[in-house]
Structure 1
Amino acid sequence: MNILCTNDDGYLANGIRVLAGAANALGSVTVVAPDREQSATSNSLTLHHPLRARLTSDGSYVVDGTPTDCVILAVNELLPSRPDVCVSGVNHGPNMGEDVLYSGTVAAAMEATVIGIPAIALSYAGDRPEELEGWEAVVRVILGKILGQEAFPEDTLFNVNLPGV
Structure 2
Amino acid sequence: MTRLANHRVLIVNDDGIHAPGIRLLEKAVREHCDDVWVVAPDEEKSGASHSVSMHVPIRLRQLDDRHIAIKGSPTDCVLMALREIMQELPTLVLAGINRGGNLADEIHYSGTIAVAMEAALMGIPSIALSQVFERGADVPWDTSERYIVPVVEQILERGIAAGSFVNINFPPVTPDAVSGVQVVSMGRRPPGAFKTEGRVDNRQIPYYWVHLEPDAGGDADGTDLRAMADGAISVCPLQVDMTNRAMFAALSGMTLNRD
- Compute the TM-score of the two structures, normalised by the length of structure 1: 0.92
**Residue in structure 1 matched with residue 204 of structure 2 by the alignment:** none
Q: 1:129 to 1:18 in 2, by over 3 A?
A: farther
- Please tell me whether the aligned partners of residues 129 and 167 of structure 2 are also in contact (alpha carbons under 8 angstroms): yes
**Residue in structure 1 matched with residue 222 of structure 2 by the alignment:** none
Q: 1:16 to 1:83 in 2, by over 3 A?
A: same
Q: 1:129 to 1:78 in 2, by over 3 A?
A: farther
Other structure's SS at 1:56 match:
strand
**Residue in structure 1 matched with residue 149 of structure 2 by the alignment:** 140
Worse-superposed segment, 90-99 or 16-25: 16-25
**Residue in structure 2 matched with residue 82 of structure 1 by the alignment:** 89
Worse-superposed segment, 108-117 or 153-162: 153-162
- The AA in structure 2 aligned to 1:160 is I
What CA distance in whole angstroms lies between the structure 2 residues aligned with 1:57 and 1:111? 24
Q: What are the Cα deviations for residues 90-126 of structure 1, in whole angstroms up to 9, with x where unaligned?
A: 1011111110000000011100001111110001111
2:164 to 156, 162, 165: 156
What CA distance in whole angstroms lies between the structure 1 residues aligned with 2:142 and 2:57? 35
What CA distance in whole angstroms lies between the structure 1 residues aligned with 2:43 and 2:138? 16
Offset, 1:135: 2.7
**Residue in structure 2 matched with residue 63 of structure 1 by the alignment:** 70
> 1 or 2 for the larger relative contact order (CA 8 Å, sep ≥6)?
1
What CA distance in whole angstroms lies between the structure 2 residues aligned with 1:118 and 1:140? 16
Structure 2 residue 24 is matched with structure 1 residue 15? no
Offset, 1:155: 2.1
Q: What are the Cα deviations for residues 44-66 of structure 1, in whole angstroms up to 9, with x where unaligned?
A: 01122221111114731100000
What CA distance in whole angstroms lies between the structure 2 residues aligned with 1:86 and 1:119? 5
What CA distance in whole angstroms lies between the structure 1 residues aligned with 2:124 and 2:138? 28
Offset, 1:147: 2.0
Give ranges in structure 1 of 5+ residues lacking alignment: none
What CA distance in whole angstroms lies between the structure 1 residues aligned with 2:41 and 2:25? 15
Offset, 1:131: 3.2
The structure number with the bigger radius of gyration is: 2
- The AA in structure 2 aligned to 1:159 is N
What CA distance in whole angstroms lies between the structure 1 residues aligned with 2:145 and 2:87? 27
What CA distance in whole angstroms lies between the structure 2 residues aligned with 1:164 and 1:145? 22
% same residue: 38
Other structure's SS at 2:140 match:
helix
What CA distance in whole angstroms lies between the structure 1 residues aligned with 2:148 and 2:138? 15
Give every structure 1 segment of 4 or more consecutive aligned residues whose post-TM-superposition deviation is greater than 3 Å: 127-131
- Please tell me whether the aligned partners of residues 14 and 133 of structure 1 are also in contact (alpha carbons under 8 angstroms): no
Corresponding pairs, count: 164
Q: 1:110 to 1:129 in 2, by over 3 A?
A: farther
**Residue in structure 1 matched with residue 12 of structure 2 by the alignment:** 6
Q: 1:50 to 1:77 in 2, by over 3 A?
A: same
Other structure's SS at 2:40 match:
strand
- Compute the TM-score of the two structures, normalised by the length of structure 2: 0.60
